[in-house]
Amino acid sequence: MVLIAATVCTKNGKVILSRQFVDMTKARIEGLLAAFPKLMTAGKQHTYVETDSVRYVYQPMEKLYMLLITTKASNILEDLETLRLFSKVIPEYSHSLDEKEIVENAFNLIFAFDEIVALGYRESVNLAQIKTFVEMDSHEEKVYQAVRQTQEREARQKMREKAKELQRQRMEASKRGGPSASMGGRSGGFSSDSFGSSGISSSSGGGGIGGGGGAPSIELDMKPVASKASAQKPASRNALKLGGKSKDVDSFVDQLKSEGEKIANLTPAASGAGGGAGSASSSAVAKAAAISADIHRESVHLKIEDKLVVRLGRDGGVQQFENSGLLTLRITDESLGRILLKLSNNDTQGLQLQTHPNVDKELFKTRSIIGLKNLAKPFPLNTDVGVLKWRFVSQDEAAIPLTINCWPSDNGEGGCDVNIEYELEASHLELQDVTILIPLPMNVQPTVGEYDGTFNFDARKHVLQWQIPIIDAANKLGSMEFSCNASIPGDFFPLQVSFVSKTTYAGINALDVVQVDGEASVKYSSESILIVEKYEIV
């Protein structure tokens, strides 16, 4: 086939997006597109319209048309198959099939169109491959990000230098009897270079675990001694606070901008609940938060959080498997700050374990006990302290906790019969609120036969939601059968899976919490949660 152009237009003929694949003048393409609505016949259903020179192959999508312009010599069956793939690509990048969404996602759609057709000829790709190719790394983007990070570092350095200068000026003014700008003496307090998430700072200069599950920065010296000057005279309301917003710092940034410096926005953006994992992973995170909110918490509370990232091939094989987790400790009673945490490690697959730098590594390696290097110091109060994290990566199919087999087959009538079955491989897990999202062709409603659990057909998103309340050792197997007209086997991939579990995949559990002095047991509460960041079969 020779594909001249692919276009998304309204039913009145207004062109929203068009991609040309062969060498042809703009006027000629515009003339062909303008002629299309005039060729439509009211009251009749068509899939294509022919003229003396070209063929229009189209498919309705709510208020829009997906239109392909091909030569008359092209194979109509190949044209229809290509049209079906174009129609499946659009909902992947546009949340709703309206003009505004199409325009906002125009570049992503054009990139996807280019992966389907090259120089007028169809490429041998499916929907999963198109998504992968469009999301591939760009050298230009990496260069841009590197330049942007350099600008951010330079801006932060200039802001720190300006802040130090302002602090020095206020201290000199205070000595001369001017307005006080005392910082309030603190030992072991936060610095402008404090560690990121779950980082713990101490007077000995210990490092922190970077990116450990989002726990806030904390310090071990929780009782700073204030200087006599600050005790006698309260700090001025205009005192400079590192990490907070200051009018002087803001004015300095504005001055840099006025001088032509390009300053990136340094305010961290709030991350989404699911990240790029889609609605399935967002739902799993919401369910995990609801489970966590119902747990009663003692003065000593432990949280063990496990996350899974799984990508499987439709014909078998593991493309990606990663399990990561974090153990956090929260203490709300000052008298229980000096404690030891005894753990049970039931891992049989070889987790990569890493303790926080302020935790005694030898004590953990020999006795599986979490304790500080300096046992005379307490853990921080009223904050989540990340003390242990782990990671496990594998390409072994035996590591997969839940296997799903999807078998679409041609029914000989232009459609497919689909059989899907699941099986729990990790029998120690109890999976709750399991949801399997199965993509469907546009404008096709499935006919569901036998099934376990419940199902829901979402016509707007063109997906079939299969829901199973609980999958455990007593309910390891389940299946569903359905059929779809006007479909091919590739229409039902990729499948997305979400679930939560109160049992972790890693097998790390708390045995006891005892005090450092005398090792008397301490009453504590704990919670374990396993969530899915991404689980798909492509």
| Cα separation, 89 vs 93, whole angstroms | 7
Token code pair at residue 45? 């259903």
> Which residues are CB-contacts of 339 (< 8 A; sequence separation ≥ 6)?
300, 331, 371, 379, 513, 514, 515, 516, 522
Q: How many CB atoms lie within 10 A of CB 449?
A: 12
Token code pair at residue 133? 């190719």
pLDDT, residue 507, reads 85
pLDDT, residue 340, reads 92
CA R_g for the chain: 30
Distance, C-alpha 204 to centroid of its chain: 36
Token code pair at residue 384? 């989540």
Distance, C-alpha 325 to centroid of its chain: 15
The closest alpha carbon to 199, from 331, 358, 306, belongs to 358
Strands 200-201 and 218-219, sheet pairing: parallel
- For 476, list phi and psi in degrees, rounded to 5: -85, -25
Give the pLDDT means over successive 10-residue stretches in the chain (538 positions).
Answer: 84 83 83 82 71 86 86 84 86 81 86 84 82 76 86 91 89 72 39 39 40 42 42 46 50 58 45 42 66 80 93 90 93 91 83 90 90 90 91 90 92 90 92 93 89 90 93 92 90 93 89 89 91 92
Token code pair at residue 86? 């174009």
Distance, C-alpha 305 to centroid of its chain: 16
For 177-294, strand residue ranges (E) read 200-201, 218-219
- In the three-class reduction of DSSP (H, G, I as helix; E, B as strand; rest coil), residue 168 is classed as helix
Instruction: Kindly list the structural domains of the chain, giving each domain's residue range(s) and its CATH number in brackets, ordered by start.
Output: 3-134 (3.30.450.60), 140-258 (no CATH), 279-398+505-537 (2.60.40.1170), 402-500 (2.60.40.1170)
pLDDT, residue 207, reads 41
Asked if residues 304 and 291 have their Cβ atoms less than 8 Å apart, the reply is: no
The closest alpha carbon to 359, from 375, 372, 343, belongs to 372
pLDDT, residue 412, reads 84
Angle at the Cα of 36 from the Cα atoms of 34 and 37, rounded to 5 degrees: 90
Distance, C-alpha 444 to centroid of its chain: 30
pLDDT, residue 302, reads 93
pLDDT, residue 240, reads 47
The closest alpha carbon to 190, from 179, 181, 200, 198, belongs to 200
**CA end-to-end span of the chain, whole Å?**
27
